[in-house]
């Protein structure tokens, strides 16, 4: 069955969505390159996801990204890199991506800004023919014991360039930071076919919005300061004929994160197919750097998808607030904003 499906996918344009991370708020540049350099300093992110764990051919996805901001170059937002790897169907199909992300920044005033980013990447899709199982390999009693007479096609990995763009509007009013974004991925719909047929990679649209509400620090017992923030948000994604809608909220209390999100594979708010629970820690390394560790658990709530099993995701983020591209003593910008938006709000 796996061999038949893969051969069909090689010859016919079967459309599918890009892998989706439940913790998209911890992997922002994967969804919108305009996040590159949105706040000052260096951000390094690692994300790992195992999806549909009850199936023999589950999905495994890994993502790495790093971006750095600098305000000493007028109009510069920052630069970043991204790499991802997705393995599907018992290792039959592997997709890897390497990309470069620049961004530009338009500071409207001290409390609002526009930022635009782009992703220029190279993608590779490869079939692991040796992992396929054909019918002539199967014995009725002993299972998979025989070599196959199937001759692997002389096909090389599909390697192609890919381009994405995005924009963000952000503002801060009192203790509320609002972020509104829109991104378009796979703008040119590149051909991802392994063989002779044409199979375009469908264009993907992503829209997102969130509001971080920072409550004032309250003194708890023994005079210890406690921070309390909440971050409700929404993300909508559309690719080919498939939609994805995620609505939820994260909370931060004294270096501990909690979150609950509802997700649906259609643009419908009356019922949801997945419930996502998230928990994490903010670990200060010193006064200007920190580490965030988060884990999320996807629980299927629909009868149609219960057989796929749960999904697990772990993210690790390092933030270094004072690292810059250019020494500020060597270059003077004409105008500098001392904006509260420069600090990482969550």
CB 37 within 8 A of CB 78: yes
Of 215, 206, 265, 270, nearest to 233 by C-alpha is: 206
Residue 302 tokens read as 């629909």
Q: Residue 187 in contact with residue 203, Cβ under 8 Å?
A: yes
Distance CA 65, CA 43 (A): 8
- Asked if 291 contacts 317 with a C-beta cutoff of 8 angstroms, the reply is yes
Domains of the chain from N-terminus onward? 2-140+155-325 (2.40.160.40)
DSSP codes, 92-149: TEEEEEEEEEEEEEEEEETTEEEEEEEEEEEEEEEE-GGG---GGGEETTTEE-S---
Structure tokens at 15: 């459309």
Over 60: is that where the pLDDT of 2 sits? Answer: no
In this structure, what are the phi and psi dihedrals at residue 2, rounded to the nearest 5 degrees? -65, -40
By the 10 Å C-beta count (0-12 exposed, 13-18 middle, 19+ buried), 126 is classed as middle
Mean pLDDT over the full length of the chain: 81
Mean pLDDT of 243-248: 92
Kindly state the average pLDDT of the residues 173-187. 95
Reported as a single tens digit per residue, the pLDDT across 134-169 is 555 555 555 555 555 555 666 678 889 999 999 999
Q: What confidence tier does 32 reach under pLDDT thresholds 50, 70, 90?
A: very high
Q: What is the pLDDT of residue 170?
A: 95
Average pLDDT over residues 284-296: 92
Structure tokens at 205: 């649209």
Distance CA 61, CA 87 (A): 6
Of residues 299 and 271, more confidently modeled: 299
> What value does the mean pLDDT take over residues 210-229?
70
Structure tokens at 301: 């709530």
Residue 286 has pLDDT above 80, yes or no: yes
State the pLDDT at residue 301: 80
User: Token pair of 179, please?
Assistant: 């972020």
Least reliable range by pLDDT among 19-28, 60-69, 121-130, 283-292: 121-130
- Residue 3: its pLDDT value, please? 42
Taking residue 293's Cβ as centre, other Cβ atoms within 10 Å add up to: 14
Q: What is the pLDDT of residues 34-92, one digit of tens each?
A: 999 999 899 999 999 987 666 666 678 999 999 999 877 778 889 999 999 988 766 57
C-alpha to C-alpha distances, 76 to 180, 197, 201, 315, nearest whole angstrom: 20, 42, 31, 28
What pLDDT score was predicted for residue 9? Answer: 40
- Evaluate if residue 192 carries a pLDDT over 80: yes
- Residue 233's pLDDT is 95
8 A C-beta contact, residue 166 and residue 180? no
């Amino acid at each position: 069955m796996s061999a038949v499906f893969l051969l069909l996918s090689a010859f016919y344009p079967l459309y599918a969505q890009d892998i989706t991370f439940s913790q998209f708020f911890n992997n922002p540049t994967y969804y919108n390159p305009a996040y590159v350099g949105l706040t000052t300093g260096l951000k390094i992110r690692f994300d790992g996801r195992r999806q549909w764990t009850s199936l023999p051919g589950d999905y495994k996805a890994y993502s790495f990204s790093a971006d750095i901001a600098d305000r000493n170059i007028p109009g510069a937002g920052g630069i970043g890199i991204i790499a991802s790897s997705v393995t599907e169907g018992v290792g039959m199909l592997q997709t890897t991506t390497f990309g470069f992300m620049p961004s530009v920044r338009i500071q409207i005033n001290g409390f609002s800004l526009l930022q635009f980013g782009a992703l220029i990447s190279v993608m590779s899709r490869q079939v692991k023919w040796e992992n396929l199982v054909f019918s002539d390999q199967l014995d009725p009693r002993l299972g998979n014991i025989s070599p196959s007479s199937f001759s692997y096609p002389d096909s090389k990995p599909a390697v192609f360039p890919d381009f994405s763009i995005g924009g963000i509007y952000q503002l801060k009013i009192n203790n509320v930071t609002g972020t509104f974004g829109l991104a378009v991925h796979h703008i040119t719909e590149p051909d991802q076919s392994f063989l002779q047929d044409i199979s375009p990679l469908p264009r993907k649209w992503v829209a997102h919005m969130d509001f971080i509400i920072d409550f004032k620090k309250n003194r708890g017992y023994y005079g210890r300061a406690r921070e309390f923030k909440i971050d409700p948000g929404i993300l909508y994604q559309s690719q080919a004929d498939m939609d994805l809608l995620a609505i939820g909220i994260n909370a931060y209390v004294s270096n501990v994160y909690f979150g609950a999100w509802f997700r649906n594979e259609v643009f419908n708010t009356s019922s949801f197919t997945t419930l996502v629970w998230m928990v994490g820690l903010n670990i200060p390394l010193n006064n200007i750097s920190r580490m965030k560790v988060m884990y999320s658990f996807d629980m299927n709530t629909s009868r149609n998808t219960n057989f796929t099993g749960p999904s697990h995701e772990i993210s690790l983020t390092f933030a270094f607030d004072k690292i810059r591209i250019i020494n500020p003593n060597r270059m003077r910008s004409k105008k500098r904003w001392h904006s509260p938006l420069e600090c990482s709000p969550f």
